[in-house]
Structure 1
Amino acid sequence: MGITKLAELIRSDAPDAVSYKEIGDYTGKVIALDTSIVVNQFRAATPLLSPLTGLFFRTLTFLEHDIKPVFVFDGKPPREKTPALKKRAAAAGWNSFNRTGIASSQTRDCLQLLKHLGVPVIQAPGDAEALCAHLVREGTVDAVASEDMDTLPFGASAVIRQLNAKRDSEVTEYSLPKLLEKLQINQEEFVDLCILLGCDYCEKIHGLGPKKALKLIQKHRTIENVVLHINRETHPVPDLWKYKEARKIFLDGPQTPTPELIWTEPDEEAVVEFLCHTKRVKEERIRNRMKTFRTLRENRREERENEKTAGRSKQTCMKDFFRVTRKREQTMETADSLSVNKKRPKSK
């Protein structure tokens, strides 16, 4: 669900915090992706097809544009999220939801495919969006790609929506620093605003719209003070309201080591063996996409080499694309972030 009507509020009250771009604007950037969002997009768009095929195509598109993707998987959800997950499961017609964080068969398949494609994967201790935001704050990645707006209260300075290769698709980027500046609130006050708007970790005050919630936070600065100055009859406060627990989830963030990220060349034969021979995807389709990937990559390499020779570009050559990216300004220790075998392949 994310944060209720946050995007709408930003567009109306802080439009300068929103910028519109194309996928090519993220060339050379390291982008963390909430994998469940990506997978669910393909499940909704093509319910009769395996989301693995969509994940395969999307990942190659990122690599073609020299975007370095980092796929983050959900872990065990916070217990405060249980009511929201139950409601979401009921709406989708599911009998249950994953409350343990143990990887499902679909998650294991995604991990296996991404391993063959040579991109890093990370298992979050809790919600993936929290770890994605943590990676941005630590300087390990440049931005988060997610449709859920709760990456902003988690502290991601840059959040990207609609990051895909559709020609008519406009990528939307939200800047947290610009947002806070325009709204004239700090991060802690912004978290309280998001809780008032409605989040996954607690109930909200009924009847309190986004405009009113913003004005109350700008004037009173904390939920505690807001509660003292609202009409409790028209805006009843939930019983046993767990807003403090929700606030702590947003502000504390995950306590996990910063991982080392390594990209390697996609292993075409391993991809074909997995997708075609195991998952029964048509081999011709996969082979043709890999051929297109190699051609586009070589063409872009030549373009950059020509530009560099002409002195018009300082972009990194494609031969340097598959390399280790380390946390800025300090050497990172290898973390225990999970891939299929809890080990990442070394650079080739």
Structure 2
Amino acid sequence: MGITKLSDLIRSEAPRAIAYKDISDYSGKTVAVDTSIVLYQFRTAIPKIHNRNGVNLSPLTGLFFRTLRFLEHDIKPVFVFDGTPPEQKRNELERRAKLTGQSTSYPPSSVSTQIHDCRELLQLMGVPYIQAPGDGEALCAQLVKTGKVDAVASEDMDTMAFGSDLLLRQLNASKDRSHVSVSAPVCWAVPSLQFVDLCILLGCDYCDKIPGLGPKRALVLIQKHKTIEEAVLHINRQTHPVPLNWRYRDARRLFSEAPQGTVPELVWNEPDEQGIVNFLCHRKHVKEERVRGRMERFRQTLKERRKEREEMSSAGEGKQTSIKDFFRVTRKREAPEVSESSSSKRAKCQ
């Protein structure tokens, strides 16, 4: 679910925080990818592709194609996997599992076969991955705050509550669509703890929300009264009943004191094409012509881009990019984006 209607609130109340860009604008950047959201998208938003053994290959093949798309645009992805989720997130995890037709247990008893497969595929593609101690969104935010990566790619807004300065949404959209960058520092002039309290009032994965309390009213309450404790003293309990045993303090702690993971050295290598073919085609029974064809297009794209860079360099057009270039607005879009809760359900293999 992420943070309920946070993207809508930012769009209406802090439009300067949003930029619509092309994927090529992130060339040369390092991006932490919230892997659980990527796999969730492929499980729910595209037709299931089963191999001869009845295994759903959509998440695995989707990860293959999406990773190549990053690499051919000179984006360095770092895939972050969830660890053991906090108990407060159990209800949300059970809801997601039900939507995808999967069984779930809390805490997870073991790493799934699908996760093992995804890690093996990423190794063959030469792309690093990190195991988070808890929620992957928290470690993604940590990577941004410590300067290990430039931004986080995710459809969930949780990473902003965890402290990420830059969130990339719809980064994997098709060529005729823009990608949305959301910059936390220019949303509102409120300290980080007040922003966390706003996210809790809006609705998050870790506790219930106050029924009937809309996003604009929540923003006004936090801007005026600073904390949840003070804000609830100025709401109508008849129309907005505060939940019994409301665990907002636990949610605040989870956002503000998320466990810090150990970040290994991040290294990218050339994809092992034959290893990829052996894994996807011979072991998982994906059609070999499909994999070989995509790898050939990948090589041709890299060759063309390398030639373009050489021509620009010889013409003296090369320049060092800055974070301002990274976040510069390149084009605007009139049509409003769908709400966050529906976007992560309807996101497609793009």
Q: TM-score range by the shorter chain?
A: 0.7 to 0.9
Which residue number in structure 2 is paired with residue 17 of structure 1?
A: 17
Give the letter for the 2:61 counterpart: T
| Paired residue total | 313
Q: How far apart, in 2, do the equivalents of 1:29 and 1:239 lie?
A: 45
| CA contact 1:134–1:253 (8 Å) conserved in 2 | no
Instruction: Tell which deviates more after alignment, 53-62 or 90-99.
Output: 90-99
Residues 52, 90 of structure 1: CA spacing in aligned structure 2 closer, same or farther, 3 A cutoff? closer
Residues 305, 61 of structure 1: CA spacing in aligned structure 2 closer, same or farther, 3 A cutoff? same
Q: C-alpha deviations, 1:239-278, integer Å up to 9, x for none? A: 1111111001111122223331000000000000000000
Q: Cα offset for 1:46?
A: 2.6
SS class of match (2:33): strand
Q: How far apart, in 1, do the equivalents of 2:143 and 2:109 lie?
A: 20
2:277 to 249, 268, 272: 272
Which residue number in structure 1 is paired with residue 150 of structure 2?
A: 142
SS class of match (2:260): coil
Q: Cα offset for 1:72?
A: 0.5
Q: How far apart, in 2, do the equivalents of 1:248 and 1:170 lie?
A: 35
SS class of match (1:250): helix
SS class of match (1:151): helix
1:126 to 134, 137, 140: 134
SS class of match (1:76): coil
Identity %: 60
| CA contact 2:142–2:260 (8 Å) conserved in 1 | no
Which residue number in structure 2 is paired with residue 214 of structure 1?
A: 219
Q: How far apart, in 2, do the equivalents of 1:90 and 1:281 lie?
A: 27
Q: How far apart, in 2, do the equivalents of 1:186 and 1:243 lie?
A: 18
Residues 133, 94 of structure 1: CA spacing in aligned structure 2 closer, same or farther, 3 A cutoff? same
Structure 1: which 4+ aligned runs deviate by more than 6 Å? none
| CA contact 2:77–2:127 (8 Å) conserved in 1 | yes
Give the letter for the 1:301 counterpart: R
Give the letter for the 1:140 counterpart: K
Residues 306, 75 of structure 1: CA spacing in aligned structure 2 closer, same or farther, 3 A cutoff? same
TM-score normalised per structure 2 = 0.86
The answer to whether 1:84 aligns with 2:92 is yes
Q: C-alpha deviations, 1:50-99, integer Å up to 9, x for none? A: 12111111111111000000000011000111122233334554442453
C-alpha RMSD of the superposition? 1.5
Which residue number in structure 2 is paired with residue 158 of structure 1?
A: 166
TM-score normalised per structure 1 = 0.87
Q: How far apart, in 1, do the equivalents of 2:78 and 2:258 lie?
A: 18
Q: How far apart, in 2, do the equivalents of 1:31 and 1:210 lie?
A: 29
Mapping of residues 1-348 of structure 1, within 5 Å: 1-49=1-49, 50=57, 51-97=59-105, 99-100=107-108, 102-164=110-172, 166-180=174-188, 184-314=189-319
Q: How far apart, in 2, do the equivalents of 1:197 and 1:258 lie?
A: 31
Q: How far apart, in 2, do the equivalents of 1:18 and 1:101 lie?
A: 40
Q: How far apart, in 1, do the equivalents of 2:209 and 2:182 lie?
A: 24
Q: How far apart, in 2, do the equivalents of 1:86 and 1:120 lie?
A: 29
Give the letter for the 2:182 counterpart: Y
Residues 98, 74 of structure 1: CA spacing in aligned structure 2 closer, same or farther, 3 A cutoff? farther
| CA contact 1:134–1:254 (8 Å) conserved in 2 | no
- Structure 2: 5+ residue runs without aligned partners? 50-56, 322-350
Give the letter for the 1:145 counterpart: A
| CA contact 2:162–2:256 (8 Å) conserved in 1 | yes
Q: How far apart, in 2, do the equivalents of 1:85 and 1:288 lie?
A: 37
| CA contact 1:74–1:124 (8 Å) conserved in 2 | yes
SS class of match (2:292): helix
Residues 59, 123 of structure 1: CA spacing in aligned structure 2 closer, same or farther, 3 A cutoff? same
